[in-house]
Amino acid sequence: MSNRNTTPKRDLHAEITANLIKAIEADPGKPQMPWRRSGRALWMPENASTKAAYNGINTVNLWVAAELRGFTSPLWATFRQWSELGAQVVKGAKSEIVIFYKLCGRPHNL
């Protein structure tokens, strides 16, 4: 039996859900979802380095994060990717959760 300290695994889905609920509850008087409150155009989030569009829950999560942080661009990247693009990450900036998933096995014909 091992006596190693184990860190509990993060529940990323619960964190994303909690952030979304917090954003909705932050201003219950407005009949708009939190990613539409600023009135700015709503673009699909994409990776600044690969140009790949985010999808699934990542789309909503990044919309909410952009709105809460006042971002006006739909571009997202890792610290390393921003560095490779010659960009400077603001000191103290925090990362955002992105869920990576892929389909396993052969797709079913429907």
* C-alpha span between 67 and 72 (Å, rounded): 8
CA dihedral angle for residue 97, residue 61, residue 16, residue 27, rounded to 10 degrees: 130
Apex 76 CA angle, 45 and 71, nearest 5:
80
pLDDT tens, position by position, 98-107: 888 777 766 5
pLDDT of residue 76: 95
Return the domain boundaries, the chain. Answer: 12-84
Among 64, 88, 75, which residue's Cα sits nearest to residue 15?
Answer: 64
User: What's the confidence (pLDDT) of residue 13?
Assistant: 83
Query: pLDDT per residue over 61-96, tens digit each?
Result: 998 888 888 888 899 999 999 999 999 998 998 889
Cβ pair 58, 100 in contact under 8 A: no
Phi, psi of 80 (to 5 degrees): -65, -45
Q: Does residue 108 surpass a pLDDT of 60? A: no
Instruction: Estimate the crossing angle of helix 12-25 against helix 57-69, to 10 degrees.
Output: 50
At position 68, the amino acid (one-letter code) is: L
Question: What is residue 82's three-state secondary structure?
Answer: helix
pLDDT in tens, 1-20: 555 667 788 888 888 888 88
Q: Which of 37-46, 51-60, 61-70, 100-109 has the lowest mean pLDDT?
A: 100-109
